[in-house]
Amino acid sequence: MRSGNQQSAWMRGFTLVELLVVMAILAMLLSLSLPRYIYSVDRAKEQALKQELATVRKALDEYFADQGQYPEDLQALVAQRYLNKLPWDPIVESNTLWVITPPELPTPGGVYNIHSGATTTAADGTVYAEW
């Protein structure tokens, strides 16, 4: 016959099988949710890139309408307060790797359009650098 102290000490712990079952359930839940999480993070970065490109392109158009020429660089948009700060490319996680397209001659300026510096493809199969 067991005493009360021995039985309560025995019942306080978990068995190895119980721990393995819990870990198996957690692994299964992670395997189902992790791909969705990663996909949603990638989609959020794509949406942020689209928004940054739209904002910069609008600022370039406004600069051209006001100044009669395109800015020499992106910093000019910030200096003239067309943008609050240099645009951030969420795909390459930098604000210095933009691919800049100059205007066609004889239009003066240095920045007609920008594209992402990323060489990878988006979820829809297009290349980020073509956006």
* pLDDT above 60 (res 121): yes
* pLDDT above 70 (res 34): yes
DSSP string, 54-122: HHHHHHHHHHHHHHSS--SSHHHHHHTTSSSS---BTTTTBSS-PEEEPPPTTS--S-SEEE----SB-
Domain assignments of the chain as residue spans, ordered by start = 47-130
Q: What average pLDDT does this structure show over 104-117?
A: 94
Residues 69-100 have pLDDT tens digits of 999 999 999 999 999 999 999 999 999 999 99
Q: Which two tokens stand for residue 45?
A: 């970065």
- Overall residue count recorded for the chain in this entry: 131
CB 71 within 8 A of CB 53: no
The alpha carbon dihedral of 68, 69, 70, 71 has a sign of negative
